[in-house]
């Protein structure tokens, strides 16, 4: 038995495809190609930009005798990243032993005597230790709170309980938690505030998926979607919006 016209290998195709003209079919194929290739091209471009940026910082400080392009007729992209990862790993290894800790304590003592630098160093160190802590839960849990008005709910990232100094100014008898509410479409900006823990509803969504929801203004969903089907559906939505206006009007 032949398959229905609206199915192809178990997947839906563009509805009413048989009624389209040759020009409309070509336009739909072109739009589908953009939907499929766009994310790939942007990802490759950003990856190459990061690799070249790191190489531009690391390679100038490496003696030319150790660079691969000294012996090869072409440069190897990403060599700076390999050197950076290796160097940070060695630094972490040295810091974990007695000699490394002694040198680290000596450097921190010098920074602590500098009036302006010491405050910046302590704040930056505390942030890094909190974010990269293996045992901490900061910004690893997603929740929703009723904001900005009753009946409206926003995504927040749960942080740590307030410090003892801050707790003295909060209402007594309630368990507070600090949360970060990201702004759309840029989740790196937002609002930080303390809220009673019982007013935060934790949701089973990862931080990465929550950030995608915020950046896409709710268009992306956490569940996985077949890229081919998503491209077909996107092209169908564009087609159903009507014919494109002629150029020059």
Inter-residue contact 179 to 200 (CB < 8 Å): yes
pLDDT in tens, the chain (249 residues): 444 444 444 444 444 455 678 878 888 888 888 878 887 888 888 888 888 888 888 888 888 888 888 888 887 888 888 888 888 888 888 777 777 778 777 777 877 777 777 777 777 776 666 666 555 556 678 899 988 888 889 999 988 888 888 888 888 888 888 899 988 877 778 888 898 988 898 888 888 888 888 888 777 776 554 555 555 555 565 556 555 444 444
pTM of the predicted model over 0.75: no
State the Rg of the chain over Cα. Answer: 27
Beta bridge partners of 141: 158
> Would you tell me how many other CB atoms lie within 10 Å of the CB of residue 130?
13
């Amino acid at each position: 038995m032949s398959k229905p016209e609206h199915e192809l290998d178990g997947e839906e195709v563009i509805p009413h495809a048989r009624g389209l003209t040759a020009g409309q079919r070509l336009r739909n194929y072109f739009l589908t190609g953009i939907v499929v290739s766009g994310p790939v091209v942007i990802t490759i471009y950003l990856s190459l930009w990061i690799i070249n940026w790191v190489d531009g910082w690391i390679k100038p400080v490496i003696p030319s005798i150790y660079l691969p392009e000294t012996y090869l007729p072409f440069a190897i992209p990403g060599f700076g990243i390999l050197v950076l990862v290796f160097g940070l790993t060695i630094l972490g290894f040295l810091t974990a032993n007695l000699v490394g800790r002694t040198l680290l304590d000596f450097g921190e003592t010098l920074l602590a005597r500098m009036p302006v630098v010491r405050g910046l160093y302590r704040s930056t160190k505390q942030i890094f230790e909190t974010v990269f802590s293996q045992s901490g839960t900061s910004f690893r849990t997603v929740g929703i709170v009723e904001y900005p008005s009753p009946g409206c709910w926003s995504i927040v990232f749960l942080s740590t309980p307030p410090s003892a100094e801050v707790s003295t100014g909060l209402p007594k008898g309630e368990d507070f938690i600090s949360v970060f509410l990201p702004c759309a479409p840029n989740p790196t900006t937002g609002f930080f505030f303390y809220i009673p823990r019982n007013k935060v509803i934790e949701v089973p969504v990862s931080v990465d998926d929550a950030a995608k929801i915020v950046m896409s203004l709710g268009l992306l969903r956490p569940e996985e979607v077949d890229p081919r089907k998503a491209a077909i559906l996107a092209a169908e939505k564009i087609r159903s919006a009507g014919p494109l206006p002629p150029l020059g009007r």
